Amino acid sequence: MQTYRLPKIPTVDQVQVESRAAAFTTRSIKKGAKKAALELAIRMMDLTTLEGMDTEGKVQMMCNKAMQPMIGRPCPSVAAVCVYPTLVGVAKRALVGSDVKVAAVATAFPSGQSFLPIRLEEIRQTVAEGADEIDMVISRGAFLAGEYARIYDEVAASKQACGPAHLKVILETGELGTYDQVRKASQIAMDAGADFIKTSTGKVSEAATLPVTLVMFEAVRDFFFQTGKRIGIKPAGGIRKAKQAWQYLVMVKETLGDDWLTPDLFRLGASSLLNDVLMQLQRLETGNYQSSLYFSED
Amino acid sequence: MTQTQKKKSTDTTQKKSPETATAPNVEQTNGSESSVSPKTQAKSANPPPTARFTSSAPNDHRLVGGGRTDSGRLMVHKTYKMWVGGKFIRSEQGRVLGLHNAEGDLVTHYVRASRKDLRDAVSAARSAQTPWATRSAFNRGQILFRAAEMIDARRESLIARLQEHANLSAAEAAQEVDAAADRMFWYAGWTDKYIQVLSSVNPVASSFFNFTLPEPTGVVAIFAPTNAPLLGLVSLIAPVILSGNTCVVLVENNAPTLAIELSEILATSDFPGGVVNILTGLRDELLPHAAGHMDINAIASCGGNEAQDRAIQIAACESVKRVHFFEQPQTLDAWCSERQQSLYSILPFVEWKTAWHPIGV
Amino acid sequence: MTTKTNEQAHSRDMASLLFGDLWGYAPSPESTDHVRYAQRYGHFINGRFVEGKDHFSSINPATEEVIAEFASADEAEVDRAVQAARAAYVGVWGKMKPAERAKYIYRLGRLIQENARELAILESMDGGKPIKESRDVDIPLVAAHFLYYAGWADKLHYAFPGATVSSIGVAGQVIPWNFPLLMAAWKLAPALAAGNTVVLKPAETTPLTAMKLAELCQEADLPAGVVNIVNGAGRTGAAIVKHPDVDKVAFTGSTEVGKIIQRAIAGTRKRLTLELGGKGANIIFEDAPIDQAVEGIIQGIFFNQGHVCCAGSRLLVQESVAKEVIQKLRIRMESLRVGDPLDKNTDVGAINSRAQLDKIHELVQSGIDEGAHIHQSACHLPSRGFFFRPTVFTEVSQSHRIAQEEIFGPVLSVLTFRTPDEALKKANNSPYGLSAGIWSDKGSKLFSVAGAIRAGVVWGNTYNQFDPASPFGGYKESGFGREGGLHGLKPYLEVR
């Protein structure tokens, strides 16, 4: 077995990448463009609950919301729900008959600090429970220690363990320290077979940001140029407002192009974004600013 | 053709101007020789300065009529050559001009530079510029300090030469030489300080380390003052070269030979060849070629007349040259004044570079 | 396990991306409802708007419609303006307490901020630049410039150690059309802070915001004659430059006109600063942060339609990464939105005038004729108005006109190099020396190359950044004198 070596990848200039990312936020998204963006955002959403206090009831309700985000008007369902492994079965049953996929975080989420065989077994069991997508975490400790081959091997093994399920690799960018590290981690994950790369667990304070996601876009783009393979991206954590959602979409549109404007290749991981998006949609429809009282919590 | 002298009419110098060293009348013949008939330049009103380092009379080496020493020894004739690219050269055209003393006697010849000499000097200055500018500021300072040392070391002969060639009294000659040494010394100290004093770190609103610092402009043509043949020259050359410029100096004054004496001093002060190039000759002849030369970046001029200054400005625009006119002091005292040395005399011959460096991880 | 990436990297052509209309942005035009301007302007002299004659039209380059008529000042009108400036200098401004001068300049800065939206819209209407630039770059910098120099007015004696400083007198200032109000601010703020009075001439294609600035001078209760603004073209500018009672001339514009001005003031002791043309080298080293560098190339050449004297119009890219950089550049160009300057999503607006558009066409044709390879973005251009596609020339040689002459449009010439030394030689092989960009991840290289480039502004891993605290100006035929920062005061002061 050959040891993985990180290929030569471009460095990232912090100032310039942040200024570029900020430029996407100045796009003016109005009227039809806004409506289309909001509906697209719903279709791309991984509606998430990842709490110690999650129960079957909670997941059940979230799944209902996922399938029918809004009452009284036609509204697309979300892309997936994202839950802990033990609740995959509940979600799967709740979503029967819908297109909504079940994603589950696995591999000793959120820290990843467990034994590899255990993490792989967790994946297998979760897939066996019916998960369509596995959101794994990389071992940030190993990554920061420079053990890139170990990260590669773990992701590759996880991919194998996934079988038919799609693998999303969470880089936990908030713990990586620099954009260069984000770019490196993205590369390793893609090289090792990730179907998606995902920014964050949502469990550390610095979650998804536009510049971090832009760096991942650029890694995905270069990987596509080199291999012809389209890898998906999922920013997650901290995306709470509809405006943020369309800013990400602007960035997708202008960096990766139309091919990535699909739930197959772009997801927004969020727990409280959905209602803000719905409120904005309603505002577009009615012309009235909205109140959260009129939107079901879950 | 007569070159008329130009007097700057400033209130402070007006009353002394009739009795001071001024540009000579150069009566140029059609041939290869011109005669210089300086007006009387004696200025004996001031007491002689204390000559602290003088141990013998400054007239020891004075040439007498036939080039003999006081003791009657026939001296070896000295040829005043120009200094270009570190070499002492005659003009490629072989023309000379004559320098005459107050009595009208021919003292010596000096070279009348041609436009091709100018061309060669500019090319020497250009080759020398980057190496000179990339030396450390400390090293350039050491060389300028060395020049000050060497002026002092040749004090006696310079005093003698100023007396013979520029018709100064012994006291005036000593005053000019001492001031020249001091001026060189003063500017020498600026090489590694002017950047510190004049640079800035600019607090921009974005995440950049932004700073502005001076860099030498490049090759500077200097039209030397028409008086103070030693001190005037040092006062213009030093602020130009200390920042890393190289220069081509065109000297037409009452005693261009002093410029060559200075060359000999600079040549023994570790100056790399081409940093200072000194041409003697006629300003009107060389001015259009220098001002229009596309490889000269800036012009410093002192003591020109209105027509000359205007001609410089007009030709300079061809390559957007920086042009700076130094007001010419009309008295030796004014030349010696500390007001004649300024940090801000360096500025016309530097460019400001602003650099933006990102601050990020 | 092996890395598939490495194996496949070289065996497969770069795939391309699709920038289509799967999700299009709806038009988002900035509303022009509340902008107010007159149909006819004369001049602003001695604190009052005065009638003029020989009116010309300023048109909106995006629609080719007339915005307003502006008078052309002749020698007599310029003389009135200079006299007003002289009287204000002698009578009021020159002897005003510096702290009060500071407060007047501060007022101008604040009034700019308060009227920012209207000014931004007018700037885009009159000049064709995208509203996002006039709104986010030009007008904020205008205000910042006045606010920065306001603070200098009563601290001038700290600026030049060991020297005494004093004002000069009347400054005659002639500005270009690419950043109309920003250039006015760059000229006015330091001149006023230093205690001088001003006669300013805006460019004849973009005089509108200068007239609005005149209104703000009135609102600020600036003493009459301190700022005078005369409209007109070259003849008016010449009258200012040649006026015997103008002590200081400041010009921003083409090198050609700069030389004419330098010649025109020969024989006088007028002080002169010139901010002229450029052919900025943007150097991409192989160790550059490539994706950000591509963004910097875009920023360098397509900002303000390339109507930027310091534009990074010569791209020097190291051969080892040239293919990748050019590929990414072309892809990036496809997402540039060209069109209505007032649409908030427009990236590249209208070319300032038909004359400028003609000049761009001419130079681009020369590039084609000389054998360079042209690539233009496939964007849709509006049917009316002056527009030009973002354009990149590859296979350009140093000897091509498009590598030497300032195009002043959205046209980039790409050259390659092999070593840092070769890059430097090419970068410096130009009579211009205004700006340069350097892209490398290696800090020591940034410093080294920045030091060796003969240009007044060198951007490391960025391009086209401006700040009122940061001095700006050129080497060689790009002019002399600095604008911005402490060094921008010097041209407006007697420093002894």
pLDDT tens figures, C285-301: 999 999 999 999 999 99
**Domain locations in chain A as residue ranges:** 16-284
Which among A15, A177, A178 is the nearest to B207, CB-wise?
A15
Show the domain range for C214. 40-276+478-495
Domains held by chain B: number = 1
| Burial class, C406, CB count within 10 angstroms (exposed 0-12 / middle 13-18 / buried 19+) | buried
Q: What span, in angstroms and rounded, lies between the C-alpha atoms of B201 and B208?
A: 11
**CB–CB of C461 and A10 under 8 A?**
no
Residues found in chain B: 361
Torsion of CA B110, B116, B117, B120, to 10 degrees: -170
Q: What is the pLDDT of residues A120-179, one digit of tens each?
A: 999 999 999 999 999 999 999 999 999 999 999 999 999 999 999 999 999 999 999 999
Closest by alpha carbon to A46, among A252, A222, A266, A243?
Answer: A266
From A78's Cα to the closest Cα of chain B, the distance in A is 37
| pLDDT tops 80 at residue B103 | no
Neighbours of chain A (3+ CB pairs under 8 A): B, C
Residue B172 lies in a domain: yes
Find the mean pLDDT for residues B307-333: 96
Predicted local distance difference test score (pLDDT) of residue B104: 77
Residue of A nearest to C462 (CA): A16
pLDDT bin (cut points 50, 70, 90) of residue B102 is confident
| pLDDT tops 80 at residue B5 | no
Residue B309 lies in a domain: yes
The verdict on A27 touching C (C-beta cutoff 8 Å) is yes
Residue C81 lies in a domain: yes
Predicted local distance difference test score (pLDDT) of residue B20: 39
Show the domain range for B277. 83-104+115-358
**CB–CB of C471 and B200 under 8 A?**
yes
Question: Does one domain contain both C433 and C366?
Answer: yes
Residue of C nearest to B205 (CA): C467
**CB–CB of C17 and A249 under 8 A?**
no
| pLDDT tops 70 at residue B60 | no
* Residues of chain A found within 8 Å of residue C295, distances taken between Cβ atoms: 16, 20
**CB–CB of B358 and A178 under 8 A?**
no
Q: What is the pLDDT of residues C137-185, one digit of tens each?
A: 999 999 999 999 999 999 999 999 999 999 999 999 999 999 999 999 9
Question: Does one domain contain both C93 and C204?
Answer: yes
Question: Does one domain contain both C409 and C347?
Answer: yes
How would you write chain A as a 3-class SS string?
A: CCCCCCCCCCCCCHHHHHHHHHHHCCCCCCHHHHHHHHHHHHHCEEEECCCCCCCHHHHHHHHHHHHCCCCCCCCCCCCEEEECHHHHHHHHHHCCCCCCEEEEECCCCCCCCCCHHHHHHHHHHHHHCCCCEEEEECCHHHHHCCCHHHHHHHHHHHHHHHCCCEEEEECCHHHCCCHHHHHHHHHHHHHCCCCEEECCCCCCCCCCCHHHHHHHHHHHHHHHHHHCCCCEEECECCCCCHHHHHHHHHHHHHHCCHHHCCCCCECEEECCHHHHHHHHHHHHHHCCCCCHHHCCCC
| pLDDT tops 90 at residue C15 | no
Which among A191, A221, A249 is the nearest to C5, CB-wise?
A191
| pLDDT tops 60 at residue A197 | yes
Identified catalytic residue from A135, A191, A195, A276: A135
Residue of C nearest to A1 (CA): C1
Q: What span, in angstroms and rounded, lies between the C-alpha atoms of B262 and B154?
A: 10
Average pLDDT of chain C? 95
Whether C310 sits among the annotated catalytic residues: the reply is no
From C214's Cα to the closest Cα of chain A, the distance in A is 31
Whether C114 sits among the annotated catalytic residues: the reply is no
Question: Does one domain contain both C210 and C290?
Answer: no
pLDDT bin (cut points 50, 70, 90) of residue A297 is confident
Average pLDDT of chain A? 96
| Burial class, B306, CB count within 10 angstroms (exposed 0-12 / middle 13-18 / buried 19+) | exposed
From A16's Cα to the closest Cα of chain B, the distance in A is 8
| pLDDT tops 60 at residue B22 | no
The verdict on A224 touching C (C-beta cutoff 8 Å) is yes
Residue of A nearest to C20 (CA): A258
From C136's Cα to the closest Cα of chain A, the distance in A is 9
Neighbours of chain B (3+ CB pairs under 8 A): A, C
Task: Find which of A11, A12, A13, A14 to mutate to test the B interface (most B CBs within 10 Å of its CB).
Answer: A14
Q: State yes or no: ipTM above 0.90.
A: yes
From B41's Cα to the closest Cα of chain C, the distance in A is 30
Identified catalytic residue from C217, C309, C310, C379: C309
From C394's Cα to the closest Cα of chain B, the distance in A is 28
* Residues of chain A found within 8 Å of residue C27, distances taken between Cβ atoms: 30
Which among C263, C465, C477 is the nearest to B208, CB-wise?
C465
| pLDDT tops 70 at residue A280 | yes
String of DSSP letters for C467-488: -TTS-B--EETTEE--BSTGGG
The verdict on A117 touching C (C-beta cutoff 8 Å) is no
Report whether A257 contacts C21 (CB < 8 A). no
Chain C contact residues (CB < 8 Å to A) = 1-6, 8-9, 12, 14-15, 17-28, 132, 136, 287-292, 295-296, 327, 335, 344-345, 441, 461-462
| pLDDT tops 80 at residue B52 | no
Predicted local distance difference test score (pLDDT) of residue B66: 60
Helix (H, G, I), strand (E, B) or coil at B26: strand
| pLDDT tops 60 at residue B41 | no
Residue C428 lies in a domain: yes
Question: Does one domain contain both C260 and C300?
Answer: no
Task: Find which of A6, A8, A13, A222 to mutate to test the C interface (most C CBs within 10 Å of its CB).
Answer: A13
Q: What is the pLDDT of residues C308-348, one digit of tens each?
A: 999 999 999 999 999 999 999 999 999 999 999 999 999 99
Q: What span, in angstroms and rounded, lies between the C-alpha atoms of C394 and B15?
A: 68
Predicted local distance difference test score (pLDDT) of residue B73: 86
| pLDDT tops 90 at residue A71 | no
**CB–CB of A15 and B361 under 8 A?**
no
Predicted local distance difference test score (pLDDT) of residue C222: 98
**CB–CB of C479 and B352 under 8 A?**
no
End-to-end CA distance of chain C: 74
Residue C212 lies in a domain: yes
Residue B24 lies in a domain: no
**CB–CB of C144 and B202 under 8 A?**
no
From B201's Cα to the closest Cα of chain A, the distance in A is 19
**CB–CB of B360 and A14 under 8 A?**
yes
Q: What is the pLDDT of residues B241-279, one digit of tens each?
A: 999 999 999 999 999 999 999 999 999 999 999 999 999
Domains held by chain C: number = 2
* Residues of chain B found within 8 Å of residue A16, distances taken between Cβ atoms: 358
Which among C9, C14, C23 is the nearest to A261, CB-wise?
C23
Q: What is the pLDDT of residues B72-96, one digit of tens each?
A: 888 888 899 999 999 999 999 999 9
- Yes or no: domain A16-284 corresponds to CATH 3.20.20.70: yes
pLDDT bin (cut points 50, 70, 90) of residue B70 is confident
pLDDT bin (cut points 50, 70, 90) of residue C8 is very low
Q: What is the pLDDT of residues A81-121, one digit of tens each?
A: 999 999 999 999 999 999 999 999 999 999 999 999 999 99
pLDDT bin (cut points 50, 70, 90) of residue B23 is very low
Whole-number percent of chain A with pLDDT over 90: 93
Residue C449 lies in a domain: yes
**CB–CB of B361 and A16 under 8 A?**
no
Closest by alpha carbon to B222, among B122, B142, B314?
Answer: B122
Q: What is the pLDDT of residues A211-259, one digit of tens each?
A: 999 999 999 999 999 999 999 999 999 999 999 999 999 999 999 999 9
From B235's Cα to the closest Cα of chain C, the distance in A is 16
Task: Find which of B204, B206, B207 to mutate to test the A interface (most A CBs within 10 Å of its CB).
Answer: B207
Q: What CATH number is given to the structural domain containing C437? A: 3.40.309.10
The verdict on B208 touching A (C-beta cutoff 8 Å) is yes
Q: What span, in angstroms and rounded, lies between the C-alpha atoms of C415 and C297?
A: 13
Identified catalytic residue from A159, A168, A234, A276: A234
Q: What is the pLDDT of residues B349-358, one digit of tens each?
A: 999 999 999 9
Report whether A85 contacts A100 (CB < 8 A). no
Which among C258, C467, C482 is the nearest to B204, CB-wise?
C467
Q: What span, in angstroms and rounded, lies between the C-alpha atoms of C139 and C259?
A: 30
Residue C11 lies in a domain: no
Find the mean pLDDT for residues B338-345: 95
Question: Does one domain contain both C300 and C343?
Answer: yes
Lowest-pLDDT choice from A67-76, B38-47, C110-119, C194-203: B38-47
From A258's Cα to the closest Cα of chain C, the distance in A is 6
Q: What CATH number is given to the structural domain containing C269? A: 3.40.605.10
Average pLDDT of chain B? 85
pLDDT bin (cut points 50, 70, 90) of residue B218 is very high
Question: Does one domain contain both C82 and C151?
Answer: yes
Q: What span, in angstroms and rounded, lies between the C-alpha atoms of B335 and C279?
A: 43
Residue B263 lies in a domain: yes
**CB–CB of A20 and C292 under 8 A?**
yes
**CB–CB of C28 and A30 under 8 A?**
yes
Q: What CATH number is given to the structural domain containing B218? A: 3.40.605.10
**CB–CB of B313 and C267 under 8 A?**
yes
* Residues of chain B found within 8 Å of residue C260, distances taken between Cβ atoms: 317
Q: What would the two tokens of residue B215 be?
A: 């860099």
Q: What span, in angstroms and rounded, lies between the C-alpha atoms of A218 and A156?
A: 22
Q: What is the pLDDT of residues B136-169, one digit of tens each?
A: 999 999 999 999 999 999 999 999 999 999 999 9
Lowest-pLDDT choice from A68-72, A222-226, C55-59, C479-483: A68-72
The verdict on A5 touching C (C-beta cutoff 8 Å) is yes
Residue B9 lies in a domain: no
The verdict on B205 touching A (C-beta cutoff 8 Å) is no
Q: What would the two tokens of residue B319 be?
A: 């390559």
Residue B320 lies in a domain: yes
